[in-house]
Chain A
């Protein structure tokens, strides 16, 4: 489905629009305050951008360092070219462990490769432990709509109703957030204590020490990372950071940008396995999944710097109106519009680079300074050149207009035609416009005709 068609559907859901509008407005204001507290915010952004750029420039070397360090600390490193390979690795570990259930801490990479579905096909159930992910998982018709708050499109009343039909069947939860959280806690606690294997994502993988980091708010992730006997972490290869010290930059940038907090409640860091503490087995799966291909695009590759803070979603006026589901990807909003078509191939999502007005609000907030509007424009160019036939009506109109603008004589002739409602200038944008908005009366005289009349040909 094109973005336009998908957006038309979600735009009709007034409740969804209200829920998202309310949530994003709130977090926008909080973020502004949280960021304003740091006098060196702009320098932190510069540092974040520089660290990411240098990590990407030396990616093969960093990944080899990471592999060596993880192995030295008693972990096992697996390389996966694509989602299918990664899914197969996870499934085979689960089979060896002998479990038909795994618990998960929220991970976009596993959503990207549809791990849950792949495991289900092997008879293994993957249970989400992040509250918002759980909410989405409990409703088979629902889809996540935000990278940090996947259930942002649901309000409390909807969630309560869902819980009363599923994990809290037969109970009446009332309207308190705490009652809803308690229902989820009871449901999950038993799983934390009995399921032998967990799957996590990674916010960072530090090449220097082999340390993996996950930041989260609820503590459910911490349970997954420490209680089960076997821990498997799926990490996109772009998540690697060269050195331990780099964390000081990102642990400041990330929480303020994502939840508008000074510090996130839980930061879990682990290095391989530790005798008599935590999981007995640790597996790190390094996923390519199209990323090396993105690296080849000199402009587009900056999309790989993303630390998934979701600040760009929360300020995007398009996202605010249509919600995450219209992007038909685990990466919605501005970052999704540049990342999804690159990861999947432009031909798989050719309308996403146009899902923006280029207003620039996303670039303004991005903690690692990804110039999203410029990448959108770059990808539009690639779609036009690589994917579309040269003879679309739009391509012809653009060609026609470029020709009309090439000389003064042709341009003035086109202006005369436009006033009669004909020619390349008149045809440019009219049909989709007047259905909803009036067009101004065409002026009796162009500016240049007025100038010539008043001042002569100069």
Chain B
């Protein structure tokens, strides 16, 4: 199957590792992967911050760049949800990575091996806007050697919320400190998720607290063959 990667501006600029893992993973599963270099940003940040008018051009641009593909895959639940809702002409062809693997490719065992203790933070947008359900967990459970541990209060927001983390920094930190406490309680080495934006937030606190816990995008675990 030929698929287009929608890596998102955030991953492209700050977390290229998530994108590279998606490429490795999809190619291992037999997909022909293309990365349209004309892609920039889906406009979510603008819309959610109240600058929807600045995003209109970005929505049109997205539809132009990706219009020719039948399936578009993204390592961001949040951006996938945005495109699905706002870019009418192709919204239905955009998939978050775990949705694509489970629903379109029909696999849960992706041949990964990752012998570490891992906990998973399901992001708000993957849960409530995309309704990905337990797809990420079904994929992780099949990874060889993994010690997958449940996260208390998993469904609760980590406090990122895009500009919320900056505009209401104190409230955001109060939410984050509870999330981090739950992560530490699991004694996991790695906290994984389907959105690097939330992981940047959680990882920022884990790093500031010198906890030694790493954050990883779920694609990086599914691509691993240690």
Q: A residues touching B (Cβ–Cβ < 8 Å)?
A: 3-4, 7-8, 11, 17, 317-318, 321-322, 353-361, 363-364, 377, 380-385, 394-395, 398-399, 401-402, 404-408, 411, 415, 418, 425, 428-429, 431-433, 435-440, 442-443, 445-448, 450-452, 455, 457-458
Looking at B97-105, B108-116, B133-141, B156-164, the stretch in contact with chain A turns out to be B156-164
Q: Are A458 and B35 in contact (CB under 8 A)?
A: yes
Known: A355-B168, A364-B128, A458-B36. 5 other contacts (CB 8 A): A357-B161, A359-B161, A402-B55, A408-B38, A432-B167
A383 vs B52: C-alpha distance in the bound complex, in angstroms?
12
24 A-B pairs in the complex with CB atoms less than 8 angstroms apart? A354-B167, A360-B124, A381-B52, A383-B50, A384-B50, A402-B55, A405-B43, A405-B61, A406-B57, A411-B41, A418-B13, A431-B166, A432-B167, A433-B169, A436-B205, A436-B208, A437-B173, A438-B208, A440-B204, A443-B17, A447-B12, A447-B16, A448-B12, A450-B16
How many residue pairs between the two chains, A and B, have CB atoms under 8 Å in the bound complex?
197
Q: How far is the CB of A325 from chain B (nearest CB, A)?
A: 13
| A316: nearest chain-B partner, CB-CB | B157
Given contacts A317-B159, A377-B48, A442-B14, contact A402 B58 (CB under 8 A): yes
A377 vs B52: C-alpha distance in the bound complex, in angstroms?
9
Q: How far is the CB of A395 from chain B (nearest CB, A)?
A: 7
Q: How far is the CB of A340 from chain B (nearest CB, A)?
A: 16
Given contacts A360-B128, A381-B51, A447-B19, contact A7 B208 (CB under 8 A): no
Residue in contact with B53 in the complex, picked from A4, A17, A381, A450, CB distance below 8 Å: A381
B20: which A residues are within 8 A, CB to CB?
447, 450
Q: Are B170 and A457 in contact (CB under 8 A)?
A: no
Q: B residues touching A (Cβ–Cβ < 8 Å)?
A: 7, 9, 11-17, 19-20, 23, 34-41, 43, 45-55, 57-58, 61, 124-125, 127-129, 155-157, 159-176, 200-201, 203-205, 207-208
A321: which B residues are within 8 A, CB to CB?
171, 174-175
Residue in contact with A361 in the complex, picked from B128, B170, B173, B200, CB distance below 8 Å: B128
A352 vs B110: C-alpha distance in the bound complex, in angstroms?
45
Q: Are B165 and A432 in contact (CB under 8 A)?
A: yes
Q: Are A360 and B13 in contact (CB under 8 A)?
A: no
Residue in contact with A436 in the complex, picked from B9, B57, B173, CB distance below 8 Å: B173
Q: How far is the CB of B8 from chain A (nearest CB, A)?
A: 9
Q: Are A448 and B35 in contact (CB under 8 A)?
A: yes
A445 vs B205: C-alpha distance in the bound complex, in angstroms?
24
Q: How far is the CB of A183 from chain B (nearest CB, A)?
A: 35
| A433: nearest chain-B partner, CB-CB | B166
Given contacts A357-B161, A383-B50, A411-B40, contact A440 B200 (CB under 8 A): yes
A429: which B residues are within 8 A, CB to CB?
163, 165-166
Enumerate the 8 nearest inter-chain pairs by beta-carbon distance, A residue then B residue, closest first. Answer: A357-B161, A437-B204, A380-B50, A360-B128, A432-B166, A359-B157, A359-B124, A447-B16
| B55: nearest chain-A partner, CB-CB | A402
Q: Are A446 and B168 in contact (CB under 8 A)?
A: no
| A12: nearest chain-B partner, CB-CB | B170
| B168: nearest chain-A partner, CB-CB | A4
Q: How far is the CB of A273 from chain B (nearest CB, A)?
A: 48
B47: which A residues are within 8 A, CB to CB?
377
Residue in contact with A322 in the complex, picked from B9, B38, B45, B171, CB distance below 8 Å: B171
A317 vs B173: C-alpha distance in the bound complex, in angstroms?
12
Q: Are A405 and B40 in contact (CB under 8 A)?
A: yes
Q: Are B54 and A398 in contact (CB under 8 A)?
A: yes
A442 vs B16: C-alpha distance in the bound complex, in angstroms?
10
Q: Are B171 and A7 in contact (CB under 8 A)?
A: yes
Given contacts A357-B157, A361-B128, A385-B53, contact A435 B169 (CB under 8 A): yes
A364 vs B157: C-alpha distance in the bound complex, in angstroms?
13
Residue in contact with B9 in the complex, picked from A405, A440, A445, CB distance below 8 Å: A405
Given contacts A4-B168, A357-B159, A357-B161, contact A408 B128 (CB under 8 A): no
A51 vs B132: C-alpha distance in the bound complex, in angstroms?
30
Q: How far is the CB of A337 from chain B (nearest CB, A)?
A: 12
